Amino acid sequence: MPGSAAANGEPQLVEARLVASVARAQLTPSGYASTEVWAYNGQLPGPTLRLRQGERLRVRVQNMLTEGTTVHWHGVRVPNAMDGVPVITQPPIEPGGGFTYEFTAPDAGTFFYHPHQRSYEQVGRGLAGALIIEEREPPRVDRDVLWVLGDWRLDRDASIRGGFGSFMDVSHNGRVGNTVTINGRVPDEFPVRAGERIRLRLVNAAAARVFALQFRGHRPWVIALDGQPVEPHEPDRGVVELGPAMRADLILDMTAGPGSRHAVRDSFYSRLEYELVHLTYSDELPLRARPDEPVRLPANRLPEPVLENSERHAVVFTGGMMGNMRALRRGMAWAVNGVSSACGEGASAFDPLFVLRRGRSCVLNLVNDTAWHHPIHLHGHSFRVLTRNGAPTRHREWLDTVMLVPHERAEIAFVADNLGDWMFHCHVLEHQAGGMMACIRVI
């Protein structure tokens, strides 16, 4: 493990500190008002934590908010006690209190961290940051660029509008905002140079917004999804679609001419298309004449599920407006296999959806029996997506968050190799709060 072990053979330790507090940030272009947000270390997004695969991360978290919080390391296969789920894996960090998270990073890739307590509001007010775990031998690119995508519902004075967790948002699309940011700022230009090769790490840190990005005049290649390498491919119709919590690593070759300017468009919501940012070329001569060979990332060492004799379960997601209204009467808009659960606010451990023996291969048949999009996230594991609506997927990609479009079915497979109670929920955070959450126990 070059570069990841200290002299004594122990993994190298990387230490960081995150302080969650109220802060002010300039989301909108300068000249407009600043916004009161909740932030880690006063920064939006929170500081990017970087370490090498196989290294150990120790993060001291301090809570300066007036309510409890936790930090969840989304997509990282951490031991259960480090997973940051209130009540289930740890008591919430009380105001004024602290907690130290420590784990070894098993997989290289693009991950992120966020609170798991009342996350629809805590994330919605700004608490999220990227966690980048570098390959032991990173691929050669000219620039490694991170875009943390954020979405805010602002009033005219740039303050964050209240009404978090409103029934309207919970029972529909979630709290989709009106202001999109890249790395905490409404972007305009992204300066590039002709011929350069960029590794673009996209993180959708929004509570509810789905992105469908088109890089006009460019042909991005997807090399990793949710941190896990995938057979390099151009996305369908050239559109990179990212639901909440999903990540994609792209190779973006700057193949256009010096001095040119190209829009990155987001066209997910019909009739609400907009230009997110422009790739703005300098006048410099191209860095190279033709793009280099495609980049292929080394696979992480994930346990491969064995499909014969695997354990099989169906998981049916229901609810929402236009859905079965039974749960609505109890104030919960969504359900998983007929049960609505939320966690955090005082809820004690909940009954697992099912119990898996450690080491078992498991195939879940996910059924979206609703008229809405749901990015479904499993903690503690990555899973392969085997089929969608019965048809094999082209790349059998490893994900930790799989988007189910309305009425879609998907089969996912994984080895239940991580002990503990793992949350399994929709990452539209208002849907999660509205009952679209379950737990899978590995014993």
> For the window 349-378, what string marks contact with Cu ion as x by the rule CB under 5 A?
-------------------------x----
> Which is it for strands 274-281 and 189-192: parallel, antiparallel or unpaired?
parallel
Other beta carbons within 10 Å of 15: 11
Token pair, residue 164, equals 């978090």
Choose one: 90-98, 176-184, 344-352, 429-437; the region binding Cu ion (CB under 5 A). Answer: 429-437
Quick one: which of 319, 315, 340, 322 has its CA closest to 410?
Answer: 315
**Considering beta carbons, is residue 62 or 89 the nearer one to ligand C2O?**
89
Q: Closer CB to ligand C2O, residue 72 or residue 118?
A: 72
Q: How far apart are CA 67 and CA 442, in angstroms?
A: 31
Place of tokens 């997989």: 107
CB of 23 to Cu ion, least distance (A): 29
- Of 358 and 407, the one with the shorter C-beta distance to Cu ion is 407
Three-class DSSP category at 31: coil
Should residue 428 be labelled a site residue for Cu ion when binding is judged by CB under 5 A? yes
Interface with ligand C2O, residue 379, by CB under 6 A: yes
Work out whether 116 is an interface residue with ligand C2O (CB under 6 A): yes
Please give the size of the binding site for ligand C2O, defined by CB under 6 A: 10
Q: Is 89 or 361 the residue whose CB approaches ligand C2O more closely?
A: 89
Least Å distance, CB 332 to Cu ion, is: 13
Helices (H) and strands (E) in the chain, counts: 3, 31
425 interacts with ligand C2O by CB under 6 A: yes
Residues between 208 and 247 that touch ligand C2O (CB under 6 A): 245
Question: Mapping DSSP to helix (H, G, I), strand (E, B) and coil, where does residue 55 land?
Answer: coil
- 278 vs 379 by CB, closer to ligand C2O: 379
Residue 420 — left, alpha, or beta (φ > 0 → left; ψ -120 to 50 → alpha)? left
With respect to Cu ion, which residue has the nearer C-beta, 183 or 204?
204
Question: Residue 351 burial by CB count (10 A; 0-12/13-18/19+): exposed, middle or buried?
Answer: exposed
Q: Is residue 423 near ligand C2O by the rule CB under 6 A?
A: yes
Shortest CB 325 distance to Cu ion, Å: 17
Using the minimum distance from each CB to Cu ion, give the nearer residue, 72 or 374: 374
- CB 65: neighbour CB atoms within 10 A? 21
Q: Figure out which of the listed residues 377, 381, 384, 388 binds ligand C2O, where binding follows CB under 6 A.
A: 377
For residue 423, the partner it binds in ligand C2O, Cu ion, none, with Cβ less than 5 to 8 A by kind, is ligand C2O
Give, in order, the Cα–Cα distances in Å from 385 to each of 85, 301, 409: 25, 17, 11
Q: Is 408 helix (H, G, I), strand (E, B) or coil?
A: coil
Contact region with ligand C2O (CB under 6 A), list: 163-171, 299-307, 359-367, 423-431 = 423-431
328: amino acid identity, one letter: L
Strand order in the sheet with 228-233: 179-182, 143-152, 197-204, 247-253, 221-225, 228-233
Which residue number places its CB atom closest to ligand C2O? Answer: 74
CB 302 within 8 A of CB 400: no
Number of Cβ atoms within 10 Å of the Cβ of 125: 21
The window from 2-10, 207-215, 268-276, 426-434 that contacts Cu ion (CB under 5 A) reads: 426-434
- Tokens describing residue 166: 């409103």
Candidates 282-290, 292-300, 385-393, 422-430: pick the segment binding ligand C2O (CB under 6 A). Answer: 422-430
Q: Which residues bind ligand C2O (CB under 6 A)?
A: 72, 74, 114, 116, 245, 377, 379, 423, 425, 427
Q: Which residues bind Cu ion (CB under 5 A)?
A: 374, 426, 428, 431
